[in-house]
Structure 1
Amino acid sequence: MNTVITVTLNPALDQTVRVANLTPGDVNRAESLEFNAGGKGVNVAGCLADYGVATIVTGLLGAEDSAAFDALFAAKRIDDRFVRVPGRTRINVKLVDTARHETTDINLATTPPAPGCVEALERRIAELARPGRWCVLAGSLPPGVDPSFYRRMTRVLHDAGVHVALDTSGAPLTEALAATDPRDLPDLVKPNQAELEALLGRTLHDDEAIIAAACELAARGIRYVVVSLGGRGALGVMASQPPAGSHSAPPQSRASAAALRAAPRAFQVFRATPPRVPVASTVGAGDAFVAGLVASLLEARTWAEAGRQATAFAAGKLARVGPHLPDHATLAALAARVEVETFTLAAAADGAVQP
């Protein structure tokens, strides 16, 4: 199985406080306190490593307090290629209400990276790029980093033959998906419903509207689009025919770009509903889902089975605090409990999605 790279520019030390029946404005007695190395790309790498996928982590990491990250990477045999930067890593506080099964996030601000650090990271990513690898670009960008960072790195990675998964929000997501050249677009993107609505500037009232919006993104040139729906699971769309001019299309297909644009495109869709499981923390469940998608694509699973496996990854993570998965047997048992519905849609030349 090929190596996966994860990129995290904004890692965090997650301080998880567990308390039953959290009452704002009152004195609350905590049940436990736990620190975990975190950040979206770090969480993805931790889950991939537990599954047995060789993983490299990189990004920007504060040099003064990296002990928790060093321990995690050593324990999971993750190749640490982070660029160490002056200062400390931010701390995010996670208040887990064990009675209500709710998590409240308090995310602290990040110090802007010192001059030259982002350029050093760009060189590091280029050095790690190998044909056939997947690279997961994940999380927010620190202050001072241009929102075009992910789009620019996607072009670099694609030119090196790397597949790109993007999991971010806000300006970086808008900038990345506004690209007009397919080489600048990720192969896989996983917004949640609110992020997708913000990106498209409209409310998506039901699953039908969400699926149509996902197909709209796929028609731009993104092969895999998954919309996470929290406890309701996820909707996934795969474009079965890459758009003309895509970096994944053979050169000869670019000569017939007009014919391809005029032809209908099919979309394979899954709707995955997770099983009910005990919840220790919801933090990182979406990152576990991304790990499950990437692992499934490495294993050449069908699109429906990728949705099933990714949902099992997320369900397995919910019972744990930190970026950890259960063993393969437990994951298989969870996957068997995931409900997956599949169907195919077609888009005509005018972009209208048809059943």
Structure 2
Amino acid sequence: MNNTALRSLKREIITVTLNPAIDQTISLSQLVPGALNLAHEIQCNPGGKGVNVACCLADFGERVSVTGLLGEDNSDSFVEMFRHKGINDRFLRVPGSTRTNIKLSDRSRNETTDINLPGIQVDAGMLDAVLWQFDALDAPVHVVLAGSLPIGLPQASYAHLIWQLKRRGACVLLDTSGAALEAALDVPAAAMPSCVKPNRHELEQLVGQALPTLELITAAARELQRLGIAKVVVSLGEQGALFVDAEHSLLASLPALAARSTVGAGDALVAGMVSAWNAGLDSEAIARRAVAFAAAKLTSIGPHLPDASSIGALASRVNIRQM
């Protein structure tokens, strides 16, 4: 059976990106603010958090669809990438151009400086148009809502989507930050997302205090889980990621790898997690695959992963620690 036939047998995963972007990654030997900086290379890739998640899923052989709001004036690169990776394109086209985000990759520090430009302005009614995409599909098992909100959508937009998607039987993973995350969690337990994935800084913003130790991070994640969120995952950069559910608090990590770019590592983590969750794997296997996806993403620029055997090799090396 070929890869296309195998993919058709899998349960579909859908990602929603309301504010996509074209990621322009500029590689530098060293970023010196206020000085002339000479670039080694530049790459442009269609992106946005949900798009990145979908691309990683497709590279791993998952059956995946993308939807959200895409500027009609410069959608060609997105269309070509979706075609190349076998991703089902259900994006709604809206007037205007999708924004460009600039990523300055400093090779000397293995750090990336992000300059995110404002996106297109949309009408709040577009949110219901996105939901209509789900009425035309079989009930999805897992939906990933990821990224910022475009100008024109209220901060409670994700809260509205989560409630409506859960009514349709979906497990919803949310990866956003700031006011949009706060609004999505200011709801009754029945309307909570099935999973959230803040990084350490986003979690600190959410709880309103610094979390300098793993013990404090674990406690904060556990409090979120008790609100009615089945899984809370906190990405911790080189320390790995913390996975908290009703039964476990697991810290999963790999030794530091040489990174071409850190852009999209968190999105790859989400992709690995939802892939394993969709496959019905246990908590430890979910953590292993998620961290392996994130580590593999560090080796390339753009929303791409190596082959599944490379992911499996990394997953076998992941260290799991019970917190």
TM-score, normalization by structure 2: 0.94
1:305-324 counterparts in 2 under 5 A? 305-324=285-304
Q: 79, 82, 95: which is aligned to 1:86?
A: 95
Give structure 2 stretches of 5+ with no counterpart: 1-9
Q: 167, 172, 181: which is aligned to 2:175?
A: 167
Aligned to 2:235: 228
**One-letter identity of the residue aligned with 1:154:** I
1:74 maps onto 2:83 in alignment: yes
Q: Quick check: 2:124–2:153 contact (8 Å CA) kept in 1?
A: no
Aligned to 1:198: 205
Aligned to 1:178: 186
In 2, the alpha carbon distance for the partners of 1:79 and 1:117 equals 20
Same amino acid, percent of matched pairs: 48
In 2, the alpha carbon distance for the partners of 1:277 and 1:118 equals 40
**One-letter identity of the residue aligned with 1:272:** A
Secondary structure, counterpart of 1:27 in structure 2: coil
Secondary structure, counterpart of 2:53 in structure 1: helix
Aligned to 2:49: 40
Q: 32, 43, 65: which is aligned to 2:74?
A: 65
1:277 maps onto 2:260 in alignment: no
Instruction: Indicate how the Cα distance of structure 1 residues 155 and 127 shifts in structure 2: closer, same or farther if over 3 A, else same.
Output: farther
CA shift digits 1:182-226 (9 cap, x unpaired): 331111110111111111122223111111111111111110001
In 2, the alpha carbon distance for the partners of 1:297 and 1:128 equals 20
CA shift digits 1:234-287 (9 cap, x unpaired): 111011xxxxxxxxxxxxxxxxxxxxxxxxxxx311101122222111111000
Q: Which moved more, 1:298-307 or 1:286-295?
A: 298-307
In 1, the alpha carbon distance for the partners of 2:34 and 2:223 equals 45
In 1, the alpha carbon distance for the partners of 2:309 and 2:24 equals 30
Q: Quick check: 1:236–1:270 contact (8 Å CA) kept in 2?
A: yes
Aligned to 2:248: 268
Aligned to 1:118: 127
Q: Quick check: 2:14–2:143 contact (8 Å CA) kept in 1?
A: yes
In 2, the alpha carbon distance for the partners of 1:223 and 1:101 equals 33
Aligned to 2:3: none
In 2, the alpha carbon distance for the partners of 1:214 and 1:121 equals 30
In 1, the alpha carbon distance for the partners of 2:138 and 2:156 equals 19
Aligned to 1:138: 146
Q: Quick check: 1:228–1:234 contact (8 Å CA) kept in 2?
A: yes
Q: Quick check: 1:275–1:334 contact (8 Å CA) kept in 2?
A: no
Secondary structure, counterpart of 2:223 in structure 1: helix
The number of aligned residues is: 314
In 2, the alpha carbon distance for the partners of 1:94 and 1:194 equals 19
Aligned to 1:328: 308
1:158 maps onto 2:166 in alignment: yes
In 2, the alpha carbon distance for the partners of 1:238 and 1:114 equals 37
In 2, the alpha carbon distance for the partners of 1:285 and 1:192 equals 11
**One-letter identity of the residue aligned with 1:235:** L
Instruction: Indicate how the Cα distance of structure 1 residues 208 and 94 shifts in structure 2: closer, same or farther if over 3 A, else same.
Output: same
Aligned to 1:244: none
Q: Quick check: 1:154–1:183 contact (8 Å CA) kept in 2?
A: no
Aligned to 2:7: none
Task: Output the aligned Cα RMSD.
Answer: 1.4
In 2, the alpha carbon distance for the partners of 1:201 and 1:23 equals 32
Q: 155, 158, 161: which is aligned to 1:147?
A: 155
Q: Quick check: 2:54–2:65 contact (8 Å CA) kept in 1?
A: yes
In 2, the alpha carbon distance for the partners of 1:315 and 1:184 equals 32
